[in-house]
């Protein structure tokens, strides 16, 4: 059903896919949430450690998916643990993806509502985004990936540019001392930083679309390094400017960083709208990826046509997006998603991989 | 075929309506109708004339003055420009909360205040003695319109006075902004503090300085700095110009400036222009006893000398002048140390920061009552000044 030749994506495309999936809400709040946990300027170390953990889970997911040629998780999970358990797991995954996609679009509406379109109602921002997203993914994975390829370079260039422009306010003392109170503070936030790399779960279905599935490990390596650089720079610059006492009081510290300076004499004086523009594109990217993942799962578990399932899950996503009443609800929902990600993508793939290895030849024979 | 035609019609209808409703910006306001606020001043409440409010809950706590750009200052009257109109409007309102005051302004000004272009924020010393900086600025830290690049100042007189000028072609708010950028010319200016930096300072519990502005008859001058208590975020008092100069030397933050010294032998004035300055703190901890030593180094040129030109500029002369400049700097530094240690008993010089970075464990124990500890800590300083140049005049 999904394995037409034209539905294959190249290895660089896979990297862009995963990286775009990764860079989302977290980039705006990461400096605050990590400092809240660790209460130490050492969180940049935690960001690196988190990447290592994410990398390991990514490798496990790849190793698992590589066992089953051209099959997505929704299909092969049933081969490993049987119909019932496999389907249950798949449905949990679908719920996860759809909730995440709802969260992304809700945060998108919140942030644009706060910074850009103050009087625009939430639904008026969410709906056009959703319809645009549906239009895009009804073409399958290829148009989706191509869009990501177009917006990715803009994101990298603009994001780096606006981050480095705050160098005037940067104070190295805000990042010192390094490990002044030992390693414990740095380890406290490790869950938070590891969760900011939740993107490798996409490989559960993405490997099936890869032209060269054997290169998936390479993909994981590169797709860990790119977000690592992003997150590291963000955390270092934001803490360097605000200090840890200041960063914990800001809801969206990364946006605040860009509003902290004005550069006179350039074409623009202020760059926050540029940052918001690329960020909106990245959130949209994450939204359509998770939406696609959910719809694909729905189609494969219930044996429906994918273009039909896209519309079936549409109201679900919209309703979940509208459920949180306020900002605290949204962050709580985000925490739930994070915790379920630990279970779903931290432990389940590992267990499945062990089962597959134990079963050995039996599964391979099926293919 | 019929079916396709209907489909096409439906599609066109949808597109037409989407364009109708989705184009343009939902919350747009024409630029002429914006009241661009460029400066804001906070003062202790003053009785407002004929602005009676019927709101019984409202207490008169503070007066807020917003400076708005006047959209058409040179409006033509019968072909002749109306003279004497200022390019800005200052509007004041009294109340007990900033946001309510802002909204109140919308009832008496045709253009509500629009704050993304806010450049400066002046808090009067008077109000900073009763209210904390955190309380006064809370609204500005929450609001989505305010940018964190807005600079914060303290005024030792009325804050709204600093937003006034006698000239008709300058914006007082921009004037403050521009003066604060002259740090490379003098050591008597504090590095400007944008709101972005203020957040951390206010919540770290450490005391800090804010640039003080004095004003009279539409003229302003940056003079000294206000000492803000880290615990209460209230104003404790001021450092005068010389003490601020001492602070700049002490922290090595100066980007340029001059030092005036009296040559003892000839009783004439000598001016040293700073090229580079740096300072470093070293600490010795012996049990519970802490001691600091500060070493200040500077290089620069002899830029003006009133000494009888008979005296040759040789090594001996340079040595002598260097020594005298060192003494002058040492005096400035001692002055500011005495003031902060003995009079205000707060650490604004960064000793706490030094401990936090270099002795984090000691700092963890001391941070809660650091200001008290600090006032008894022995501090020594040594200054090294090097004259590397004496300009393009040579005296034989």
Whether the complex's predicted ipTM is more than 0.85 is answered with: no
Which pLDDT score is estimated for A191?
Answer: 85
The pLDDT-based confidence of A361 (bands split at 50, 70, 90) is low
* Mean pLDDT confidence for A361-366: 47
* pLDDT over 60 (residue B96): yes
The pLDDT-based confidence of A239 (bands split at 50, 70, 90) is very high
- Asked if A242 and B200 come within 8 Å (Cβ–Cβ), the reply is yes
* pLDDT over 90 (residue A235): yes
Tell me the range of A85-94, A113-122, B1-10 where mean pLDDT is highest. A85-94
Q: Mutate which of B149, B180, B350, B361 to disrupt the A interface (most A C-beta within 10 Å)?
A: B149
* Mean pLDDT confidence for B316-322: 84
Q: How many CB atoms lie within 10 A of CB B194?
A: 22
CA distances from A303 to A74, A75, A307, B308 (A): 11, 10, 12, 101
* Mean pLDDT confidence for A267-288: 86
Q: Which two tokens stand for residue B91?
A: 């509007």
Enumerate residues 6+ apart whose C-beta is below 8 A from A271.
A161, A162, A165, A258, A263
The pLDDT-based confidence of A6 (bands split at 50, 70, 90) is low
DSSP three-state, residue B283: strand
Q: How far apart are CA A327 and CA B99, in angstroms?
A: 21
* Cβ-contact B271, B304 below 8 angstroms: yes
- Asked if B356 and A177 come within 8 Å (Cβ–Cβ), the reply is yes
Q: Which two tokens stand for residue B134?
A: 């955190």
Indicate the helix (H) or strand (E) that contains B152.
strand B151-155
- Closest alpha carbon to A218 in A229, A232, A207, A204: A207
- Asked if A124 and B26 come within 8 Å (Cβ–Cβ), the reply is yes
Q: What is the pLDDT of residues B185-219, one digit of tens each?
A: 888 888 889 999 999 888 888 889 999 999 888 88
- Closest alpha carbon to B212 in B150, B155, B164, B163: B155
Rg (CA), chain B: 28
Which pLDDT score is estimated for B83?
Answer: 52
* Mean pLDDT confidence for B331-350: 88
Angle in degrees, 0-180, between the axes of helices A216-247 and A141-164, rounded to the nearest 10: 40
- Asked if A117 and B149 come within 8 Å (Cβ–Cβ), the reply is no
**Pick from A114, A243, A259: CB nearest B149:** A259
Tell me the range of A254-258, B72-76, B389-393 where mean pLDDT is highest. A254-258
Q: How far apart are CA B102 and CA B368, in angstroms?
A: 37
Q: How far apart are CA B382 and CA B281, in angstroms?
A: 11
Count of H-run helices and E-run strands, chain A = 17, 0
Q: How many CB atoms lie within 10 A of CB B30?
A: 6
The pLDDT-based confidence of B73 (bands split at 50, 70, 90) is low
Up-side HSE of residue B93: CA atoms within 13 Å toward CB? 23
- Asked if A169 and B197 come within 8 Å (Cβ–Cβ), the reply is yes
- Asked if B200 and A256 come within 8 Å (Cβ–Cβ), the reply is no
Which pLDDT score is estimated for B74?
Answer: 55
Which pLDDT score is estimated for A222?
Answer: 92
Tell whether B358 is within 8 A of chain A (Cβ): yes
Which pLDDT score is estimated for B153?
Answer: 92
Q: How far apart are CA B373 and CA B368, in angstroms?
A: 10
Backbone phi, then psi, for B263, in 5-degree steps? -70, 125
Tell whether B20 is within 8 A of chain A (Cβ): no
The pLDDT-based confidence of A365 (bands split at 50, 70, 90) is very low
Q: Which two tokens stand for residue A126?
A: 């969410």
DSSP three-state, residue B298: strand
Greater model confidence, A119 or A245: A245
Look at strands B62-69 and B35-44 and give their pairing: antiparallel
* Mean pLDDT confidence for A190-211: 86
The pLDDT-based confidence of A294 (bands split at 50, 70, 90) is very high
Enumerate residues 6+ apart whose C-beta is below 8 A from B389.
B300, B301, B302
Which pLDDT score is estimated for A49?
Answer: 92
- Closest alpha carbon to A252 in A29, A30, A25: A29
Which pLDDT score is estimated for A288?
Answer: 92
**Pick from B27, B197, B201: CB nearest A117:** B27
Q: DSSP states of A115-166 as a string?
A: HT-TTS-HHHHHHHHHHHHHHHHTT-HHHHHHHHHHHHHHHHHHHHHHHHGG
- With beta carbons under 8 A apart, name residues in chain B contacting A250: 199
Q: How far apart are CA A209 and CA A230, in angstroms?
A: 26
Q: Please, is B316 exposed, middle or buried when counting C-beta atoms within 10 Å of its C-beta (0-12, 13-18, 19+)?
A: exposed
Greater model confidence, B84 or B340: B340
Measured CB to CB, residues of chain A less than 8 Å from chain B are 114-115, 117-120, 124, 128, 169, 173-174, 176-177, 180-181, 241-250, 256-257, 259-262, 270, 272
- With beta carbons under 8 A apart, name residues in chain B contacting A244: 200
Q: What is the pLDDT of residues B212-249, one digit of tens each?
A: 999 888 888 888 899 998 888 898 889 888 898 889 88
- Closest alpha carbon to B381 in B324, B337, B321: B337
- With beta carbons under 8 A apart, name residues in chain B contacting A124: 26
* Cβ-contact B176, B120 below 8 angstroms: yes
Q: How far apart are CA A56 and CA A215, in angstroms?
A: 16
* Cβ-contact A181, A37 below 8 angstroms: no
- Asked if B360 and A120 come within 8 Å (Cβ–Cβ), the reply is no
Q: Mutate which of A32, A262, A268 to disrupt the B interface (most B C-beta within 10 Å)?
A: A262
Q: How far apart are CA B176 and CA B153, in angstroms?
A: 9
* Mean pLDDT confidence for B376-393: 85
Q: What is the pLDDT of residues B122-179, one digit of tens each?
A: 999 989 988 888 888 898 888 888 888 899 999 988 888 888 888 777 888 888 888 8
A19-47 in b/e burial notation, b at 16+ Cβ within 10 A?
A: bbbbbbbbbbbbbbbbbbbbbbbbbbbbb
Please write down the long-range contacts of A9-12, taking CB distance under 8 Å and 24 or more positions apart: A9/A141, A9/A142, A9/A145, A9/A206, A9/A209, A9/A210, A9/A211, A10/A211, A10/A212, A11/A210, A11/A211, A11/A212, A11/A215, A11/A218, A11/A219
CA distances from B139 to B89, B100, B134 (A): 22, 10, 9
Count of H-run helices and E-run strands, chain B = 11, 16
* CA angle B366–B367–B370, rounded 5-degree value: 75
Q: Mutate which of B115, B118, B201, B357 to disrupt the A interface (most A C-beta within 10 Å)?
A: B357
* pLDDT over 80 (residue B90): yes
């Amino acid at each position: 059903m999904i394995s037409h030749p034209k539905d294959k994506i190249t290895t660089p495309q896979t990297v862009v896919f995963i990286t775009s999936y990764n860079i989302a809400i977290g980039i705006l709040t990461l400096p605050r949430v990590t400092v809240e946990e660790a209460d130490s300027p050492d969180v940049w170390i935690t960001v690196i450690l988190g990447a290592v953990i994410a990398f390991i889970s990514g490798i496990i997911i790849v190793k698992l998916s590589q066992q089953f040629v051209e099959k997505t998780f929704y299909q092969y999970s049933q081969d490993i643990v049987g119909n019932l358990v496999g389907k249950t797991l798949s449905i949990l995954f679908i719920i996860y993806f759809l909730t995440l996609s709802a969260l992304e679009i809700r945060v998108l509406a919140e942030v644009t509502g706060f910074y850009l379109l103050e009087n625009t109602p939430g639904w008026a921002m969410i709906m056009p985004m959703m319809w645009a997203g549906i239009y895009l993914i009804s073409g399958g994975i290829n148009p989706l990936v191509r869009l990501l390829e177009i917006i990715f370079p803009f994101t990298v260039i603009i994001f780096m540019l606006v981050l480095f422009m705050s160098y005037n306010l940067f104070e190295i003392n805000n990042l010192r001392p390094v490990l002044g109170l030992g390693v414990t503070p740095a380890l406290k936030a490790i869950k938070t930083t590891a969760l900011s790399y939740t993107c490798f779960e996409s490989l559960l279905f993405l490997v099936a679309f890869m032209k060269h599935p054997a290169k998936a490990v390479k993909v994981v390596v590169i797709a860990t390094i790119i977000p690592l650089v992003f997150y590291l720079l963000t955390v270092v610059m934001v803490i360097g400017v605000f200090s840890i006492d200041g960063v914990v009081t800001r809801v969206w510290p990364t946006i605040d960083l860009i509003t902290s300076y004005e550069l006179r004499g350039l074409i623009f004086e202020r760059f926050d709208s540029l940052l918001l523009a690329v960020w909106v594109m990245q959130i949209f990217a994450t939204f359509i990826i998770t939406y696609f993942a959910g719809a694909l799962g729905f189609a494969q578990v219930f044996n429906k046509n994918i273009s039909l399932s896209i519309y079936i899950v549409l109201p679900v996503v919209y309703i979940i997006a509208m459920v949180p009443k306020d900002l605290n609800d949204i962050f709580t929902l985000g925490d739930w998603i994070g915790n379920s990600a630990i279970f779903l993508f931290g432990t389940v793939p590992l267990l499945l991989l062990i089962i597959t290895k134990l079963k050995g030849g039996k599964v391979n024979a099926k293919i | 075929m019929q079916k396709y035609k209907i489909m096409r019609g439906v599609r066109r209808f949808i597109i037409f309506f989407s364009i109708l409703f989705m184009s343009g910006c939902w919350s747009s306001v024409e630029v002429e109708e914006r009241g661009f606020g460029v400066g804001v001043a906070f003062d202790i409440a003053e009785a407002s004339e004929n602005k009676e409010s019927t709101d019984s809950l409202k207490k008169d706590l503070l007066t807020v003055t917003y400076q708005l750009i006047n959209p058409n200052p040179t409006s033509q009257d019968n072909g002749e420009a109306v003279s004497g109109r200022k390019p800005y409007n200052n509007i004041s309102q009294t109340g007990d909360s900033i946001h309510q005051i802002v909204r109140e302004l919308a009832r008496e000004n045709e253009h509500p205040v629009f704050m993304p272009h806010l450049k400066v924020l002046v808090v009067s010393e008077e109000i900073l003695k009763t209210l904390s900086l955190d309380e006064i600025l809370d609204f500005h830290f929450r609001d989505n319109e305010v940018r964190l690049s807005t600079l914060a100042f303290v005024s030792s007189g009325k804050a709204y006075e600093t937003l006034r000028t006698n000239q008709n072609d300058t914006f007082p708010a921009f004037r403050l902004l521009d003066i604060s950028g002259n740090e490379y010319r003098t050591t008597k200016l504090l590095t400007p503090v944008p709101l972005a930096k203020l957040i951390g300072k206010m919540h770290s519990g450490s005391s800090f300085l804010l640039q003080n502005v004095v004003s009279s008859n539409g003229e302003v001058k940056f003079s000294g700095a206000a000492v803000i208590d880290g615990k209460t975020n209230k104003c404790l008092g001021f450092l005068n110009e010389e003490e601020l100069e001492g602070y700049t030397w002490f922290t090595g933050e100066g980007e340029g400036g001059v030092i005036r010294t009296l040559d003892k032998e000839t009783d004439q004035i000598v001016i040293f222009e700073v090229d580079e300055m740096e300072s470093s703190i070293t600490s010795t901890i012996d049990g519970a006893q802490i001691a600091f030593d500060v070493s200040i180094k500077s290089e620069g040129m002899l830029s003006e000398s009133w000494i009888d030109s008979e005296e040759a500029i040789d090594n001996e002369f340079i040595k002598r002048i260097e020594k005298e400049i060192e003494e002058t700097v040492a005096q400035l530094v001692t002055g500011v140390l005495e003031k902060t240690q003995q009079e205000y008993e707060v650490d604004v010089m960064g000793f706490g920061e030094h401990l936090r970075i270099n002795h984090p464990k000691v700092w963890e124990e001391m941070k809660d009552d650091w200001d008290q500890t600090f006032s008894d800590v022995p501090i020594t300083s040594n200054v090294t000044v090097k004259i590397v140049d004496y300009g393009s005049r040579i005296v034989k």
